[in-house]
Amino acid sequence: MSLVAEGLIEKIDSRTARISVVGLGYVGLNVSLSLASEGFEVHGYDIDGSRIDKLLQGINYVQEEDHLSGILPLMLNTKFFPSTDVDNASEVGDIIIVIVPTAEGDIPTLDYLEMALDSITQNDIRGKLIILESTVQVGTSDEFVKPILERGGLKAGTDFFLAYSPERIDPGNTSMRLRNIPKVVGGVNQVSAEIAAKLYEAIVNSVVMVSSMKTAEFVKLMENAQRDVNIALVNLFAIMGEKAGIDIEEALFAASTKWNFHKYHPTCGVGGHCLKKDPVLLAKSFENTGIDLTLIESSRRINDYMPILTAEKAISICREHIKRDPSSVSFGILGLSYKKNSSDSRNSPALFIIERLKERGASDIRCYDPHVNLTIKQNTLKEVLDSNIVIQTVAHDSFKGLLDNYQGYVIDGTNTLDPSEKVIGIGRFPLRGAVGDNILEDHAREEKTAGMASSRE
430: left (phi over 0), alpha (psi -120 to 50) or beta: beta
Q: Give strand ranges (E) for 145-239.
A: 161-164, 183-187, 207-209
| Of residues 67 and 400, the one with the C-beta less far from ligand NAD | 67
Q: In the bound complex, what is the minimum distance in angstroms from residue 151's beta carbon to ligand NAD? A: 17
Q: In the bound complex, what is the minimum distance in angstroms from residue 274's beta carbon to ligand NAD? A: 5
CB neighbour burial string for 157-178, b if at least 16 within 10 angstroms, e if fewer: eebbbbbbbbbbbbbbbeeebb
Q: In the bound complex, what is the minimum distance in angstroms from residue 92's beta carbon to ligand NAD? A: 14
First-to-last C-alpha distance (Å) of the chain: 44
Binding flags for ligand NAD, 120-159, as an x/- string (CB under 6 A)? --------------xx------------------------
| Of residues 310 and 347, the one with the C-beta less far from ligand NAD | 347
Q: In the bound complex, what is the minimum distance in angstroms from residue 99's beta carbon to ligand NAD? A: 5
Binding flags for ligand NAD, 247-276, as an x/- string (CB under 6 A)? --------------------------xx--
Catalytic site includes residue 220:
yes
| Of residues 198 and 276, the one with the C-beta less far from ligand NAD | 276
Write out the binding residues for ligand NAD, residues 104-123 only, by CB under 6 A: 112, 115-116
Catalytic site includes residue 54:
no
Beta carbons within 10 angstroms of residue 305's beta carbon: 17
Q: Which of 100, 101, 33, 96 is nearest to 70 (CA)?
A: 33
| 80 within 8 A of 72, measured Cβ to Cβ | yes
3-state secondary structure of 409: strand
137 by Cβ neighbours in 10 Å (0-12 / 13-18 / 19+) ranks as buried
Q: Which of 420, 394, 309, 285 is nearest to 357 (CA)?
A: 309
- Determine which one of 214, 220, 276, 339 is catalytic: 220
| Of residues 172 and 425, the one with the C-beta less far from ligand NAD | 172
Write out the binding residues for ligand NAD, residues 32-61 only, by CB under 6 A: 45-48, 51
Write out the binding residues for ligand NAD, residues 59-88 only, by CB under 6 A: 86
In eight-state DSSP terms, residue 156 is: B
Q: In the bound complex, what is the minimum distance in angstroms from residue 397's beta carbon to ligand NAD? A: 20
Write out the binding residues for ligand NAD, residues 323-342 only, by CB under 6 A: none
- The continuous run of DSSP H or E covering 449 comes out as helix 437-450
Output the CA–CA distances (angstroms, integers) from residue 109 to 115, 118, 182, 241, 284, in the order listed: 11, 15, 27, 37, 12
Q: In the bound complex, what is the minimum distance in angstroms from residue 38's beta carbon to ligand NAD? A: 20
Q: Which of 64, 94, 167, 194 binds ligand NAD (CB under 6 A)?
A: 167
| Of residues 62 and 238, the one with the C-beta less far from ligand NAD | 62
Residue type, 345: S
List the catalytic residues.
220, 274
- Interface ranges with ligand NAD (CB under 6 A): 22-28, 45-48, 51, 86, 99-102, 112, 115-116, 134-135, 167-169, 171, 273-274
